[in-house]
Structure formats: C-alpha cells, structure tokens
Structure 1
Amino acid sequence: MMTETANTLPLHAVIAEQEKICQERPNNIIAHHTLGLLYRQAGRADEAIRELERAIELDGHSVESYINLGAIYFDRGDVARALELNEKALSITPQMAEAHVNIGLIRQQQGDAAAAVECYEKALQIDPQLLTAWLNLTSACTMLEQDDKAEEAARQAVTLEPDSGMAHNNLAVALYFKGKFKEAKQHLDRAKELGYSVDPRFVQGLQAKLGQ
C-alpha cells in the first residue's frame, strides 16, 4: 500500500508537519520561511507574518522572506510597509527582478504610473522573461496613454505565456486603444476561453466599436 506524500496531503496536515519541523529545529531559517508560506496559503496572515519575521530574525539577508512578507502587507493595504520590505530586499540583492516589479506595483497603486514603468523596465533588464513585469508594464503604459508601448508589452506577455488569460485581456485592451478593434475582440474571446474574468464594461465598449 502506498503512503501519502506531502504533495497529496491536505494543507492543514502539511502545516502540522511543518510546525513539528520548526519545533524540532527552532533555528532553521528555511523551516520558518516555509511555514510562513504555508500559513499565507491557508489565509492565516498573522501567523505567516510571525514565521517570516522569525526567518528574517535568524538571517537578515533572507531576501525571499522580505519579499513574501511584503506581499502580505501589500494584500493588507499597508503599502508603506510593503515598500520598505521590498526596498530592503533590493538593498541586499539589487538584481532581484521580483522586488522591482513589486515596487512598481506599489507605485502604480499610488498613482505614479511613470515611476512604475521605470521599475518594470528595470525588472525586465534583469529578467526579460518575467511575465508579471510585461503584464504590469502594459497596464502602466495604458494609464500613461503610451499606446504603442502598451501594445508591445502586451504582445511580449502573450508570446511568453500563450495560455495566460490576463495576457490576452491586456493585449485586447491595448489593441482597443490603438483602434484595432477586430484583433482586440479575438484576444478578448481568448481570454474568456482561458477563464479570465473580463470587465463587462470593456466588453460593451468593444462591442459598440464593432457595431454589435
């Protein structure tokens, strides 16, 4: 009879196993970091924060812990703390593309799309294959009415991940603002097929342009 592996166990059981590991190895950075990620996955944010902070306490250069802790604070709406944590990660590892993307997203949420574009472009200089950077660059350029740049970024995202509903949706939006309504409809339909929840207002606006 085969025994269950960690990959087939329910999340609460995996968490219980990881808690035991942390109890047995209280100074193990990876153990606390992993438990923090599991807590976050389970929606237990306070406990996730505690474990990630413990990982950082054990190793002040635990860049991934700073990044993941920042993500929790961002989700909570504490963008100032999220920014601080991502900037700390960059001070340790300046070439961390993910941190540049995260800071860009914060800047974009703060309404500074130009600063966001700079962050996404820095990320792409480090990792040209980073899908989130292309996706976010598309939306930031759209905000700035940089339509050519938005279309280029959106096409790059679709090329990187043809089965990303968000990438096809972003490209549809970019094409809409370029007046390429038929092609926009094609990508919007593909986004729907892939299960992406499209904005009904955008659907209506595009249909109006197509005379439907």
Structure 2
Amino acid sequence: MAKKAEMSLCSGERRILVVKRGLYALGIASMLAVAGCQSTNQTADMISIEKEQGSRENIDSLSSVIAANPNDPNAYNVRGSAYGRAGEFTKAVADFNRALQLNPNFYQAYANRALVYRNMGKPVEAANDYTAALKLNPNYDIAYIGRGNIYRQAGRVDEAFQDFNRAIELDTTDGRAYHNRGLIYQLRGQHDKAIDDFSKAISLSPSAPEPYNGRGVSYLALNDDENAFADFNHAIELNPKLAESWANQALVYERKGDKVKAAKSYQHAVNLDPKYQPARDGLNRTRGAS
C-alpha cells in the first residue's frame, strides 16, 4: 500500500436524499436519480483550511528552511501544502511546480498540486496531475481516489468505479474509497453493497459524518427507517453543521407523519445552508404544520 503524502482532507461531497416510494408522487427510483445528481455536483476533496498549519509563522518557518536548502524539493512540497491549508492556492501551485522542476518523479507533489487544482475549480488539470502521479507510482491509492472523485462528479461513473476499486485492491486505509464506491452502488440501486461499503468507510473513519448519511440513505431506500434514523442522528452528533444530516433526519420525521419535527429539522438545515435544495423543498412541504 502506498504511503500517504498528500495533504489531509475533509470530506464535503456526499449529499444524497431519497423519499419513500409513493411519497408526494415521487418514486424512490426517480428520487435516487435526483439524489445522485445532487451528490455528483458537490465538491469533493476540499482542502481543510487550518490556521495552525497555514499560519504566517509556519509558512515563514518553512520559507527559512527553503532559504537554507533552495534545491530541496521536499521543502517546497511541504510549504506548498501549508499554502494550500492557508487557502493561498496560487502560491501553493508555484511551490509544487518548483518541487517538480527539482524532482520530476515526485509523484506526491503531483497529487498535492492536483488537490489544489480541484479547489481552484480546475478538474481537467487535477485529473492530469493524478494520472501523472499514477504513471510514476501505479500503486498510489491516494491518486486513484482523487481521480475517481473527479470522474464521478463528471458523470464518468464507470471510470470512477474502476479507480475506487483499484484503490481498494491496494488495501487502502482511506475511507473515501469505500464511501465513494458506495455512492456509485447507491446510484445504481445496489443498496446492500452500498451499505457494506459505507460500513467499511465508517470503520476506517469513525468520526466522519458523511458515511453515516450515505448508509442512512440506503437504509431508507430499503425501508429500514429505524437504522436510517440512527445513522442520521449520529451524523448530527459528529458534526451538527452539515445541512444534509438535518434534512435527512427531517425526512424520517416526515415519513413518520410528524411534520412539526420535520419542519424544524428542515428549517435548521436551511439555516445552515440556504442553497441546499432538498432542505428547501422539504420545508415547503411541511411548513405550517401544527
């Protein structure tokens, strides 16, 4: 298994919502199709802006290291990661460029630059960098996961599935591989397999709320409201600031006929993310409940 040298990530890509068959004249198959599009359009692999790692003091310290070792590609790679954490993406790319000039075989720098390109809204450049990393190291699981996310969001689901499979075959310990493959199983209506993958993702990343939301959606698709509700509630406990968790919880309340609680949860989701359409739609359905 390849060692992880890419910047650590926070997951912000998994927003899926389904409704029970026949509810509000929407079949579960059609709603899953909508949910798949909703999830596909979300941004994956967002860099987590961290004050400590991206602080001016930390960057100044790394700059001192570079001044003392101006031909060390590792130093540029580390500072580029710090710039990425600080949200200074142009400077990050410049450092990764320099690292690759000094060491054209530095596959981790390709993957790090790809991640920054993703955050800059340049998926083509990002995919090319992940591919370059894989040419240098065909066993680099991180690059398969990153490229797979780009393919999945571009609608190239079969290619994404192959990349996630390859990462899993390499015994990756990165839960994103299982989570994102689970999303594809979910999109294909293979909910038992999706649940297995989400459960594996949870075992690898137990503090991440997204796999709980994903697994809960598939439980709903199988009409297992009890387990779905437990997963959505746990997702909220892990991170109460995700709109989709509250909207998913609201959906279970709605399925139970408790429109008052549903409306409160939908409203909370809208407050967190006014643009999250499933929450807005749910609130419109349940607003005014007494």
TM over 0.5: yes
* Paired residues of 1:103 and 1:116 also in contact (CA < 8 A): yes
| SS class of match (1:145) | coil
The code of the aligned residue for 2:110 comes to: Y
* Paired residues of 1:114 and 1:144 also in contact (CA < 8 A): no
The code of the aligned residue for 1:145 comes to: G
- 1:70-89, aligned counterparts within 5 Å? 70-89=114-133
Bigger relative contact order, structure 1 or 2, given CA contacts below 8 A and separation 6+? 2
Displacement after TM superposition at 1:46 (Å): 0.6
Displacement after TM superposition at 1:177 (Å): 1.5
Which of 59, 73, 88 aligns to 1:29? It is 73
| SS class of match (1:107) | helix
- 1:41-56, aligned counterparts within 5 Å? 41-56=85-100
* Paired residues of 1:191 and 1:198 also in contact (CA < 8 A): no
Residue 206 of structure 1 is matched in structure 2 by: 252
Displacement after TM superposition at 1:15 (Å): 0.6
User: What CA RMSD, in Å, does the superposition of the two structures yield over aligned residues?
Assistant: 1.7
Matches of 1:124 and 1:85, distance apart in 2: 21
Residue 129 of structure 1 is matched in structure 2 by: 173
Displacement after TM superposition at 1:203 (Å): 3.0
| Larger helix proportion of the pair | 1
Matches of 1:89 and 1:71, distance apart in 2: 12
The code of the aligned residue for 1:121 comes to: N
Cα 1:9–1:96 shift into 2, 3 Å: closer
Which of 188, 197, 216 aligns to 1:144? It is 188
Tell me if 1:193 matches 2:237: yes
* Paired residues of 1:113 and 1:141 also in contact (CA < 8 A): no
Residue 60 of structure 1 is matched in structure 2 by: 104
Residue 208 of structure 2 is matched in structure 1 by: 164
Point out where structure 1 has 5 or more consecutive residues left out of the alignment. 1-7
Q: TM-score, normalised by structure 1?
A: 0.90
Matches of 2:111 and 2:170, distance apart in 1: 17
Matches of 1:71 and 1:160, distance apart in 2: 21
Matches of 2:256 and 2:191, distance apart in 1: 20
The code of the aligned residue for 1:81 comes to: E
Tell me if 1:178 matches 2:215: no
| SS class of match (1:127) | coil
Residue 3 of structure 1 is matched in structure 2 by: none
Matches of 1:118 and 1:211, distance apart in 2: 41
Which of 69, 84, 101 aligns to 2:113? It is 69
Residue 31 of structure 2 is matched in structure 1 by: none
Matches of 2:215 and 2:117, distance apart in 1: 30
Residue 147 of structure 2 is matched in structure 1 by: 103
Matches of 1:164 and 1:109, distance apart in 2: 20
Q: TM-score, normalised by structure 2?
A: 0.67
* Paired residues of 1:192 and 1:198 also in contact (CA < 8 A): no
Residue 157 of structure 2 is matched in structure 1 by: 113
Cα 1:9–1:161 shift into 2, 3 Å: closer
Cα 1:128–1:62 shift into 2, 3 Å: closer
Give CA deviations for 1:96-150 in whole Å, capped at 9, x if unaligned: 1111111110111101222212211110010243211111112222222221221
Which of 70, 79, 84 aligns to 1:40? It is 84
Displacement after TM superposition at 1:198 (Å): 4.0
* Paired residues of 1:86 and 1:103 also in contact (CA < 8 A): yes
Matches of 2:157 and 2:243, distance apart in 1: 22
